[in-house]
Structure 1
């Protein structure tokens, strides 16, 4: 999904940048240029930064080795199956 329309930056690009070690909004602004034009994507990008954990940069709710990660993955699979059934 495109998060920053001005720079055509997707959520995947932001997540990859977080996975690579970005930890602040400023890091993402320097690396990707998000929220530098109109700023409408700023609040969403800030949420993505706030949800990232220091261990791996993913918003897993804890350590990347936690069981919560597996639960989150299962929820995504169920949502995809429901979308396909509709």
Structure 2
């Protein structure tokens, strides 16, 4: 049983520590349960997107866990090669 908790502390608790330290979940920017829930849901959704990008895009060494800036863009472009979901364009705003 202790081995399971030791493994949990290395994997799951690390995610919460990263969210707290790197993504600003030590303090909230909003007040009220609805706004704080919205903020934390968005932060964890972004963490899941980053995790998915790391899993799906291989790095130059062939491993699958190196994050690149273009990872999410590559994932969305793979959906349909003839019609990409995201299009790069310049904004006039």
TM-score range, shorter chain: 0.3 to 0.5
Relative to the length of structure 2, the TM-score reads 0.31
Larger RCO, structure (CA 8 Å, separation 6 or more): 1
Relative to the length of structure 1, the TM-score reads 0.32
The structure having more radius of gyration, on CA atoms, is 2
More strand by share: 1
